[in-house]
Structure 1
């Protein structure tokens, strides 16, 4: 399996994707939260190549790195991100690690590759427009395949496009192909997809299986598993053949990958 998109080339595998950056215990004690400038900088400082993050749109049209649709969990404020202007959001996040717009993230960390989840429908086209000049180091995804495709269309310039990973609809069809023992159907389902990013389980449903990994690899598609924080789970999944770990403990995962498994 040889992924061709620049997002994947000249970078060691297995891939460690820093989930919303990296917030160490010390940083958390200082008030740093996920998806902030400080969290991305900590991931960068730990030696990460890939950062997984999320995109929402502010009331005045700025794309910001933020996971939740509102500020309740992070800032104790019930308002939706879509109802807050950028300047006020910057003030709210100033003592929590510092807000990052998508443009700032791409410009401030030119060696990082960003795996971006489009969380809001209104953000899809703006996200695509923002990442278009950086398509070689961006992967676009969303639970919604329609939203993912809208962002991807807005980001595509000629033959240059960001990498992309499957949304729920594509993954559901892939699971059907796996259940039917049909690598040919899986190959068709995964046309235009660069990675499958999945949990090991979804409730009682086992999503990740050796057959799924095999079918994805036959289609030259990588398999990344989220969110994996325990060393034993990391080792077990890597032994199964997954290509990437999405983790809150990027520092731990990098150490484990360097020490336990030769990079290929």
Structure 2
């Protein structure tokens, strides 16, 4: 049965990658303002990343450190929420996961657990919002911990890198039974088109995923023509830095 996260929303899916942070607006990715901008543009889905602060708050932030965004070389795990709020002033404002879920009740969040320390907190927080949350991680272990922490609620989920690698290998080898086992329990398969020299997205992978009732979302796609081509291939959604462009291209 289709997870509520994927029900009643436009298809193909447009997932606003870290919100919508357009150049020249002094709004950083994953900030509260970036989420608000994605919502204002009409995005139903917002993709974001989760870290844990030194004082135990799950915040939406991509990098392990603050260096790229604020110039502070410290790790997110080394600063308090108050310190992070101060650094994000004038940059769109920091968003905790709780704030994001409560402030945007109509938004569906696609959450990548970036830090092991954040996994349990993510699970606890999203349990009350499981119908509109997808939990994923490059680490299958972090994903598992977050899902277990959310139990008995069941957020939607997409696999980590190791599972994806095994799935791609089984698809390439034509091992359908193995692929179908790997797809069991998943709601979406969120992948790049390629990983180095390896072609990840293929027609066979799309077909087998759909046979298993699993959607295929591709990241990170910003070119409108490529968006159209991928949807024509059968892709169910795109993760994009330009949700405004994608919405215009694919849904309007």
Could you say which TM-score interval applies, normalised by the shorter chain? over 0.9
SS for the counterpart of 1:246 is: strand
Distance 1:86 1:144 in 2: 25
Relative to the length of structure 2, the TM-score reads 0.98
Alignment of 1:58-97 (within 5 A): 58-97=53-92
Partner residue in 1 for 2:220: 227
Q: 2:136 aligns with which of 129, 132, 141?
A: 141
Residue pairs, 1:37-52, within 5 angstroms: 37-52=32-47
Q: CA deviation at 1:258?
A: 2.3
CA–CA distance in structure 2, aligned partners of residues 135 and 255 of structure 1: 28
Whether 1:182 and 2:175 are equivalent positions in the alignment is: yes
Q: CA RMSD in A?
A: 0.9
For residues 63 and 205 of structure 1, the distance between their equivalents in structure 2, rounded to whole angstroms, comes to: 34
- Which residue of 1 is the match for residue 8 of structure 2? 10
Separation in 2, partners of 1:203, 1:183: 24
Residues 43-74 of structure 1: CA distance to partner in whole angstroms, max 9, x if unpaired?
00000000000000000000000000000100
Instruction: Tell me the TM-score normalized by structure 1.
Output: 0.94
Determine if the alignment matches structure 1 residue 121 to structure 2 residue 121.
Answer: no
Give structure 2 stretches of 5+ with no counterpart: none
Matched, 1:153 2:151: no
Query: Matched residue pairs, number?
Result: 252
- Give the superposition deviation at 1:181: 1.1
Q: After superposition, where does 1:233-248 map in structure 2 within 5 Å?
A: 233-248=226-241
Paired residues for 1:99-114 under 5 Å: 99-114=94-109
Structure 1 residue 122: Cα displacement: 0.6
**Map of 2:249 onto structure 1:** 256
Cα distance in structure 2, aligned partners of 1:205 and 1:251: 30
